[in-house]
Structure 1
Amino acid sequence: MFKIMLIEDDATLFHEIKDRLQQWTYEVVGVTDFGKVLQEFLEAGPDLVLVDIGLPKFDGFHWCRLIRSHSNVPIIFLSSRDHPTDMVMSMQLGADDFIQKPFHFEVLIAKIQATLRRVYNYNTERSPLRTWRGAVVEYVKNTITAENRSAELTKNEMFILQMLIERKNTIVSREELIRSLWDNEQFVSDNTLTVNVNRLRKKLEPLGLDGFIETKVGQGYMATDEAAAL
């Protein structure tokens, strides 16, 4: 049974979501003190976090930033705010998805299932270790090490990197990446993928791996190996 932490201050909505998730056999925990969200997160140890942006004391972005400093647990934002910068901000902070209120519960459960399946199942389907351009990529640990430096990736960043290096020197379309990451591209902004790829590239730069994930305009992305650079 997966444990989901629901950080939502609207009591009516909290109980509605909790009841529906429990019908799907998820364990749901809430927050008792919105000034101590990080502490309660660390004590609960959830497998996934659902967090609203508009919260008392500090907004969801604040708590996402703090949670990310301690954990790579998947995070999905829920928000009634519809400005594109909110989605961009959430992805820049390391969130895995963004769902705008009001939403159909079927969409919420589909995104939760896709995220849990991706995070907790995908990495076990292939070898946990891969080398790429002299770097060691550890899928299970979500780390990449090169030149005596390491970078810790979010689940989405590692998923993107894994898809690209497993098919190095081959273009992987944006549509395929979006479908694999979020199951249904109908509910995902194309910019969401761009933000995740850009974040991944920034983490690769200090490792001497900048420029090795190429953008193929109008097609997708490609990870190159040493042979491709000659």
Structure 2
Amino acid sequence: MDILIIEDDVSIRQELKQLLENALYDVSTLTEFTNYTECIKNIRPDLILLDVNLPNLSGFEVCQKIREQSNVPIIFVTSRTDSMDELNGMLKGGDDYITKPFVAPILLAHIAAVLKRTYKKEQQEKITYKGIELDMIRGRILYDGKCAELSKNELKIMHYLFTHAGEIVSRIELVENLWDQQIFIDDNALSVNMTRLRSKLETIGVQNFIETKRGMGYRI
């Protein structure tokens, strides 16, 4: 398991790195605090430890940007102890919230719990159809060694299509399924997401995977 540390305080970053390596995790760190999402896309960590007080953007903003592309688990590790900060972190897509100064065994226990919860679910949430794999936990689709990152909406749409493979799924059915999951999307937004999905599939070498049935809906 590879854990990415996003922490601008050098001493804390080194302390976390040493702690995690001693616990036999692979560890990556960011030392430049720009282009977060591009760095994460290249590193592809299994979990992120994220500070809140960062240069340029807050950790909450970074988390929100990550969630537009990936479902990688995120644990906030921060000196901010206000309950509203913790709530904000969860609302932005965080999976856990640990305050500094942290107690090493407790932090490791939280990391282990999030990883177990996430990747136990992953075993149930990796779906393959026609050689194309949908990875729900990491929020991506894979084919022939190539990978495309999906937004939350795109991921949920693809999951519904994969679980109804071979069936025609109506547009209203997709919209209602997303609303049931508290993802607010209308018919126009669905069209935009389908266009983006097809474009991303093409980047990994998949042509005509999502079939449009005129007046009826979609089928894979």
Interval containing the TM-score (normalised by the shorter chain): 0.5 to 0.7
How far apart, CA to CA, are the structure 2 residues paired with 1:35 and 1:21?
24
Structure 2: which 5+ runs fail to align?
128-133, 138-155, 161-171, 187-220
Q: Unaligned 5+ residue runs, structure 1?
A: 130-138, 153-199, 207-230
Structure 1 residue aligned with 2:6: 7
| Correspondences of 1:209-228 after superposition (within 5 Å) | none
Alignment of 1:1-230 (within 5 A): 2-124=1-123, 141=136, 143=156, 145=160, 147-149=173-175, 151=178, 202-203=182-183
Deviation at 1:62, TM superposition (A): 1.1
Question: How much does 1:122 deviate?
Answer: 3.6
Helix, strand or coil at the partner of 2:182 = helix
Provide the C-alpha distance between the structure 2 equivalents of 1:62 and 1:6, rounded to a whole number of angstroms: 16
* Separation in structure 1 between the aligned mates of residue 82 and residue 15 of structure 2, nearest angstrom: 25
Q: Kindly provide the amino acid, as one letter, of the partner of residue 141 in structure 1.
A: M
Looking at structure 2, the residues matched to 127 and 22 of structure 1 have their Cα atoms a distance apart, in angstroms, of 28
For 2:113 and 2:19, the matched residues in 1 are separated by: 17
Aligned amino acid, residue 114 of structure 1 = A
CA distance in 2: counterparts of 1:201 and 1:121, whole angstroms: 21
Rounded to whole Å, the distance in 2 between the matches of 1:42 and 1:27 is: 17
The separation in 2 between residues aligned to 1:26 and 1:122, in whole angstroms, is 20
Moved >4 Å (runs of 4+): 126-129
One-letter amino acid of the structure 1 residue matched with residue 174 of structure 2: N
Cα deviation digits, residues 64-86 of structure 1 (max 9, x gap): 01100000000000111111111
| Paired position in structure 2 for 1:223 | none
For residues 82-138 of structure 1, give each alpha carbon's deviation from its aligned partner in whole angstroms, at most 9, with x where no partner exists: 1111111111111100001111011110011011111112443x6979xxxxxxxxx
Quote how far apart the aligned CAs of 1:12 are. Answer: 0.6
Superimposed CA distance per residue, residues 15-67 of structure 1 (whole angstroms, 9 cap, x where no aligned partner) = 11100100111111111310222221111110000000001111101110110
Normalized against structure 1, the TM-score is what?
0.58
Q: For residues 83 and 204 of structure 1, do their structure 2 counterparts lie closer, same or farther at Cα, with a shift above 3 Å needed?
A: same
Based on CA coordinates, which of the two structures has the bigger radius of gyration? 2
Residue type matched to 1:66 in 2? K
2:71–2:136 CA contact under 8 A, matched in 1: no
1:141: how far off? 2.8
Q: Secondary structure at the match of 1:28?
A: strand
1:128–1:16 distance in 2 versus 1, CA, 3 Å: closer
State the Cα RMSD in Å: 2.8
Q: Say if 2:122 and 2:136, in contact at 8 Å, map to a contact too.
A: no
SS at match of 1:148: helix
Structure 2 residue aligned with 1:216? none
TM-score when scaled to structure 2? 0.60
2 CA distance for matches of 1:94 and 1:105? Answer: 24
**Correspondence for 1:225:** none
Identity %: 34
Q: Within 2, Cα distance between the matches of 1:18 and 1:148?
A: 43
* Cα gap change, 1:151 to 1:50, in 2 (>3 Å): farther
Q: Distance in 2 between matches of 1:203 and 1:38?
A: 22
